[in-house]
Amino acid sequence: MIAKKICLIGSFAVGKTSLVRRFVESIFSEKYQTTIGVKIDKKIVQIPSQDVQLMIWDMEGRDEFSQHRTSYFRGAAGYFLVIDSTRPETLEVALETQEELQGQLGELPFIALITKRDLTEQRRLDPHRLATMEESGWEILETSAKTGINVERAFQRLAEKILDS
């Protein structure tokens, strides 16, 4: 079976670990638990052409305390840029990160995940900016680790994009 490494990256507390836990273990917890360094999980996704084992690298959120290393992305076949729908600042971080990664890794398949879709009242992202990003070719999915919406789909889509690339 083919194995692919994917990374989840974004600001701290955007819900990267929650997405992975929902996807791998079908669990969700409201409690925020910060990640230090990297945690690697595995899960097989079935896409029409074949099964793919995803090696999911859940990375520590980006902030002044975290130390992101180039090595973390080595061998990655694709990545998720994770953005918190309630924190516009996290969109800025995602944009900066995408620019950096593109410089480092070249054109790799990626998907921007807007998390916490269930918190509709607290949504603060500028829809125009998101539209512009989509126009420039970004694939954006709105997810909720709490309800599970689009979580499976996100991983499935990234696997498909990786195999198509």
Nearer to other proteins, 141 or 159 (CB): 159
Cβ atoms of 130 and 123 within 8 Å: the answer is no
Q: Does residue number 88 form part of the binding site for other proteins (CB under 8 A)?
A: yes
Site string for other proteins, 98-137 (x = CB under 8 A): --------------------------x-------------
Binding window for other proteins (CB under 8 A); candidates: 61-69, 98-106, 141-149, 150-158: 61-69
Q: Does residue number 29 form part of the binding site for other proteins (CB under 8 A)?
A: no
Q: Select the residue interacting with other proteins from 89, 92, 96, 126 (CB under 8 A).
A: 89
Q: Which helix (H) or strand (E) holds 23?
A: helix 16-25
SS3 state at 103: helix
Q: Does residue number 147 form part of the binding site for other proteins (CB under 8 A)?
A: no
Q: Select the residue interacting with other proteins from 4, 22, 87, 157 (CB under 8 A).
A: 87
SS3 state at 34: coil
- Rounded-to-10 torsion of CA 125, 128, 129, 132: 150
Nearer to other proteins, 33 or 136 (CB): 33
Residues 63, 42: Cα–Cα separation, whole Å: 26
Residues 49, 73: Cα–Cα separation, whole Å: 26
* Residue 61 half-sphere exposure toward CB, CA atoms < 13 A: 19
- Least Å from the CB of residue 140 to other proteins: 21
Nearer to other proteins, 51 or 63 (CB): 63
Q: Select the residue interacting with other proteins from 67, 106, 136, 164 (CB under 8 A).
A: 67
Chain positions contacting other proteins, by CB under 8 A: 12-13, 32-41, 55, 61, 63, 65, 67, 69, 71-75, 87-89, 124
